[in-house]
Amino acid sequence: MNPHRKLPLLGKAKKTVESVKRLDEGGYMYYMDCFHDYYSPLIQTPIKLLGMMKKGSCSAFITCTPDGHVLTGRNYDMPHFDADNKLTGLNVVVRTAPKGKYRSISVTDAYWLTALDKSYFAGSLDNGTTDTSWLVFLPYLCMDGLNEKGLTTSILYLDILDGETAVKQTVKGKKSVILTMLMRFMLDSCATLEEAVKLARSFNITNTFGKDYHLFVTDAQGNSGVFEWRHNTLTVTRCNCCTNFYLGYDDAKDCILEGGVLKEKFVRPDVVYDDCQLGYGHGYERFFTLKRGIAALKGEPFGQCRSVMDEPAARELLHSVAQEYDGGVTSYTQYSAVYDN
- DSSP letter string, 48-103: TT----S----EEEEEE-TTS-EEEEEEEE--EE-TTS-EE--EEEEEE--TTS--
Q: Is the pLDDT of residue 297 over 50?
A: no
d(CA 62, CA 300): 14
Q: Is the pLDDT of residue 144 over 70?
A: yes
Q: Is the pLDDT of residue 256 over 70?
A: no
Mean pLDDT calculated for residue range 176-196: 97
**pLDDT score of 299:** 42
**pLDDT score of 222:** 93
Q: Is the pLDDT of residue 178 over 70?
A: yes
Q: Which residues contact 53 (CB under 8 A, 6 or more apart)?
A: 112, 115, 209, 211
Residue pLDDT, tens place only, 6-32? 767 779 999 999 999 999 988 889 999
Q: Is the pLDDT of residue 2 over 50?
A: no
**pLDDT score of 3:** 44
Q: How many CB atoms are closer than 10 A to CB 21?
A: 13
Q: Which residues contact 74 (CB under 8 A, 6 or more apart)?
A: 58, 59, 60, 144, 152, 154, 216, 318, 336, 337, 338, 339
183: confidence class by pLDDT, cuts 50, 70, 90: very high
Mean pLDDT calculated for residue range 270-298: 78
Which pairing describes strands 29-34 and 91-96: parallel, antiparallel, or unpaired? parallel
Percent of the chain scoring above 70 in pLDDT: 86
Nearest to 130 by CA among 143, 142, 121, 141: 121
**pLDDT score of 306:** 58
**How far is CA 276 from each of CA 177, 221, 247, 301, 315, rounded to the nearest angstrom?**
26, 20, 5, 13, 24
The rounded mean pLDDT for the chain is: 88
Percent of the chain scoring above 90 in pLDDT: 62
Q: Is the pLDDT of residue 146 over 70?
A: yes
Mean pLDDT calculated for residue range 78-96: 89
Return the SS3 of 257: strand
Residue pLDDT, tens place only, 187-243? 999 999 999 999 999 999 999 888 999 999 999 999 999 999 999 999 999 999 999
State which of 108-122, 227-241, 262-276 shows the largest mean pLDDT.
Answer: 227-241
Q: Is the pLDDT of residue 186 over 80?
A: yes
| Lowest-pLDDT range of 3-17, 73-87, 164-178, 314-328 | 3-17
| Lowest-pLDDT range of 50-64, 74-88, 231-245 | 50-64
Report the DSSP beta bridge partners of residue 75: 59, 336
Cα–Cα–Cα angle for 176, 181, 184, rounded to 5 degrees = 140
**pLDDT score of 116:** 83
Q: Is the pLDDT of residue 296 over 90?
A: no
**pLDDT score of 84:** 84
d(CA 35, CA 16): 5
Q: Which residues of 310-338 are buried (b: 16+ CB within 10 A; e: fewer)?
A: eeebbbebbeebbbeeeebebbbbbbbbb
Q: Is the pLDDT of residue 330 over 60?
A: yes
AA identity, residue 44: Q
